[in-house]
């Protein structure tokens, strides 16, 4: 009798789980925009992050994520990305730091002025104004790709106010050997980072990451819309950031720096680490095996753990 009861309970649980799964799949396919916002909200909550917005005195509008307490840590996303690219790693950081992750001007939900200066220096100056508006005078900075380029520009402009740098596959070092991305652009004139349609977006995710998190196609298509709408502005921004070299501005910069690179990065050659390490005298390098251009997305906990160990050395 007990055996039959156990079988019935197991069967009931299996049916219930199947219904939940079917309902979840239906939710994703019938209401992809709502599903996308729901999943982002869950990820932010798990990370202890809250969406906020602020207008600076000059009218610049920033939307950002913030959570945790402790020393301020501002994390800067890369080209074409947005604030949620750091949400997964922030889950392991908000217990220790006050984490702020803004959408850069020109991306995400922040202002998109069509004729603004989008050079890394101009973006760094805006972020400095944002930090002041948030009551932050000294800050630890982290940045991926374009965000790393901007973080280094910030440190070069305000060296006394930047306590450390966390540089994840940063841009701005253009004397390194060509990457696959650069060869494609040079040989075809086409830029895989500029998204025209949903197919471009799917191909881009494959190029950027070797360990890509599973994203249902309907949600991926919703995510693609932000890039498609920003197509013309992103072409302009890409030209501005790739024409700016950071090398002379950071040569000899004493800011403690953790340089992290995925050895499978197809966008910026991993050999860039040697040049950057030579420019920053107080830097440490970590090469992540089997990882692409966005370590904090592909391996969020490992990336965060590496950063926590780096930060621990600063207090010794």
Active-site annotation holds for 145: yes
CB 181, CB 266: distance < 8 Å? yes
The H or E element spanning position 302 is helix 300-314
Cα(87)–Cα(161) distance, rounded to whole angstroms? 25
Between strands 61-67 and 50-55, the pairing is antiparallel
Which listed residue (85, 110, 111, 145) is catalytic? 145
Q: Per residue, what are the HEC states of 37-92?
A: HHHHHHHHHHHCCEEEEEECCCCCEEEEEEECCCCEEEEECCCCCCHHHHHHHHCC
For residue 146, give Cα distances in angstroms to 15, 138, 223. 48, 22, 19
Which listed residue (77, 104, 149, 293) is catalytic? 77
Between strands 98-102 and 283-288, the pairing is unpaired
Q: Classify the C-alpha dihedral 38-41-43-46 as positive or negative.
A: negative
Cα(117)–Cα(298) distance, rounded to whole angstroms? 31
The DSSP output letter for 86 is G
Cα(196)–Cα(239) distance, rounded to whole angstroms? 17
- Which two tokens mark 142? 């982290």
Active-site annotation holds for 77: yes
- Which two tokens mark 227? 């890039």
C-beta atoms surrounding 314 within 10 Å: 12
Question: Active-site residue numbers?
Answer: 77, 145
């Amino acid at each position: 009798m007990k055996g039959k009861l156990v079988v019935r309970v197991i069967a009931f649980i299996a049916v219930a789980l199947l219904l939940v799964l079917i309902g979840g799949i239906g939710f994703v396919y019938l209401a992809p925009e709502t599903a996308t916002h729901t999943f982002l909200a869950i990820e932010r909550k798990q990370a202890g992050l809250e969406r906020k917005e602020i207008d600076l005195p000059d009218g610049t509008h920033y939307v950002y994520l913030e959570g945790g307490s402790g020393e301020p840590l501002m994390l800067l996303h890369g080209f074409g990305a947005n604030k949620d690219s750091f949400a997964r790693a922030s889950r392991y950081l908000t217990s220790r730091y006050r984490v702020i992750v803004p959408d850069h001007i020109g991306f995400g939900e922040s202002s998109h002025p069509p004729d603004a200066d989008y050079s890394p220096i101009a973006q760094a100056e805006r972020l400095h104004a944002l930090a002041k508006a948030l009551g932050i005078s000294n800050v630890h900075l982290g940045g991926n790709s374009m965000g790393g380029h901007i973080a280094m520009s910030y440190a070069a402009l305000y060296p006394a106010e930047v306590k450390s740098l966390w540089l994840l596959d940063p841009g701005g070092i253009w004397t390194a050997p060509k990457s696959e991305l650069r060869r494609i652009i040079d040989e075809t004139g086409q830029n895989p980072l500029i998204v025209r349609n949903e197919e471009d977006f799917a191909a881009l995710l494959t190029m950027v990451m070797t360990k890509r998190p599973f994203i249902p196609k309907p949600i991926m298509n919703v995510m693609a819309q932000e890039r498609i709408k920003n197509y013309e502005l992103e072409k302009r921004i890409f030209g501005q950031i790739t024409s700016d070299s950071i090398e002379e501005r950071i040569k000899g910069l004493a800011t403690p720096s953790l340089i992290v690179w995925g050895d499978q990065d197809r966008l910026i050659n991993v050999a860039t680490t040697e040049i950057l390490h030579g420019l920053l005298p107080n830097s440490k390098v970590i090469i992540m095996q089997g990882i692409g251009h966005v370590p904090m997305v592909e391996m969020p906990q490992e990336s965060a753990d590496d950063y926590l160990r780096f930060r621990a050395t600063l207090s010794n």
